[in-house]
Amino acid sequence: MKNVAIVYFSSGGHTQQLAHGIAEGVRSVPQTAAVLWRIEGSDLRDGRWKNEEILAGLQRSDTIVFGTPTYMGGIAAQYKAFIDACGGIWYEQAWRNKLAAGFTHSQGLSGDKLNTLEGLMIQAMQHGMLWVGLGIRPEGSSPEQINRLGSYLGLMAQSEADQTNLFEGDRQTARLFGQRIADATHRWQRT
């Protein structure tokens, strides 16, 4: 059995819906479990994030998928606090050779989401992880089409301010991304 951890922050629920879509795709691949971990602002004290249960869960996983909304063209502060709290893990290189992937959601069609994915990838590279890109050719740019925002580094999704549920194309893209991540996890792990 392989384990994929999906660790995300979400304020309004859209990034969370992406996380659930990825988990659905991961679980559709036999012998693969997906565990969701939510970063909460309440785990921040004096600007520092702390949650040993989440860190232990991430350590147990074969693959970690990182997800955050895009705030001011980058990683949301709550999520950056989590990333920075993993500095000790970086020192030990305890995530070295785990697979990594990333996703983000924003209101703007661009909204500078690429910068967010780059930030997620760079921290994964610092940990010595291996990055899995989206790997899905865009079907078109309509709301129901796969990878409609034409992203390659990771999963990008977008919703309007008054929109509760994700566009169908984004939801399907999340599911396909989860499948790809699960497949990659099985191919990469020897045992």
Ligand X SMILES: Cc1cc2nc3c(=O)[nH]c(=O)nc-3n(C[C@H](O)[C@H](O)[C@H](O)COP(=O)(O)O)c2cc1C
Among 11, 59, 97, 142, binds ligand X (CB under 6 A): 11
- Residue 69 contacts ligand X per CB under 6 A: yes
Instruction: Count the site residues for ligand X by CB under 6 A.
Output: 18
Furthest CA-CA distance within the chain: 46
- For the bound state, the minimum distance from the C-beta of residue 135 to ligand X, rounded and expressed in Å, comes to 23
Distance in angstroms (rounded) separating the CA atoms of residues 30 and 44: 36
- For the bound state, the minimum distance from the C-beta of residue 82 to ligand X, rounded and expressed in Å, comes to 15
- For the bound state, the minimum distance from the C-beta of residue 119 to ligand X, rounded and expressed in Å, comes to 13
Instruction: Report residue 111 as tokens.
Output: 């909204």
Q: Which residues pair with 155 in a beta bridge?
A: 103
- Residue 57 contacts ligand X per CB under 6 A: no
Distance in angstroms (rounded) separating the CA atoms of residues 29 and 183: 7
* Site for ligand X, residues 87 to 106, rule: CB under 6 A: 105-106
- Residue 119 contacts ligand X per CB under 6 A: no
- Residue 15 contacts ligand X per CB under 6 A: yes
- For the bound state, the minimum distance from the C-beta of residue 11 to ligand X, rounded and expressed in Å, comes to 4
- For the bound state, the minimum distance from the C-beta of residue 187 to ligand X, rounded and expressed in Å, comes to 30
- Whichever of 12 and 57 has its CB closer to ligand X, that residue is 12
- Whichever of 70 and 179 has its CB closer to ligand X, that residue is 70
- Whichever of 81 and 184 has its CB closer to ligand X, that residue is 81
Q: Which residues pair with 48 in a beta bridge?
A: 45
Of 108, 133, 106, 128, give the one whose Cα is nearest residue 118.
133
Q: What burial class does residue 187 get, using C-beta atoms within 10 Å of its C-beta: 0-12 exposed, 13-18 middle, 19+ buried? A: exposed
- Residue 135 contacts ligand X per CB under 6 A: no
- Whichever of 59 and 163 has its CB closer to ligand X, that residue is 163
Helix (H) or strand (E) holding 58: helix 52-60
Distance in angstroms (rounded) separating the CA atoms of residues 59 and 141: 37
Distance in angstroms (rounded) separating the CA atoms of residues 31 and 33: 7
Interface with ligand X by CB under 6 A: which residues? 10-16, 69-73, 105-108, 111-112
